[in-house]
């Protein structure tokens, strides 16, 4: 299996688990370098910020690639918010929205 195939398969698997187990509002894949999976996950929650990533990370077992979940509430995120080394605006411009909850 090529690196690209492994990356896409793992992204799909992780996104499916997060959608069903964590029920986010939105998932955006960003910083695609096919070595590390970075996902911005937006969800309304009362959990502390440091707990959210741990919870999401704990849902994903048997990882084939490193996975970095960045979990924010809608009220915490602005265009200038830093997510890893990028701003939310850069993620919107360059990332790939892979899930959005339909109301």
pLDDT one-digit tens code per residue, 73-82: 999 998 898 8
Question: pTM for the whole thing?
Answer: 0.92
Buried b (16+ CB within 10 A) or exposed e, 62-101: eeeeebbbbbbeeeebeeeeebeebebeebeeebeebbee
Instruction: Give residue 41's pLDDT.
Output: 97
Instruction: Give residue 103's pLDDT.
Output: 65
pLDDT digits (tens, 9 = 90+) for 43-78: 999 999 889 999 999 999 999 999 999 999 999 998
Residue range 3-100 in CATH 3.10.129.10: no
| Residue 65: DSSP 8-state | S
pLDDT digits (tens, 9 = 90+) for 3-36: 899 999 999 999 999 999 999 999 999 987 889 9
């Amino acid at each position: 299996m090529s690196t690209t195939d492994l990356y896409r398969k793992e992204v799909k698997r992780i996104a499916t688990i997060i959608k069903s187990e964590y029920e986010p509002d939105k998932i955006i894949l960003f910083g695609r370098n096919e070595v590390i999976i970075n996902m911005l996950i937006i969800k309304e929650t009362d959990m502390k910020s440091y707990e959210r990533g741990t919870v999401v990370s704990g849902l994903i077992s048997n990882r084939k690639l490193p996975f970095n979940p960045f979990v924010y509430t809608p009220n915490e995120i602005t265009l200038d918010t830093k997510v890893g080394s990028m701003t939310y605006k850069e993620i919107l411009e360059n990332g790939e929205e892979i899930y959005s909850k339909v109301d």
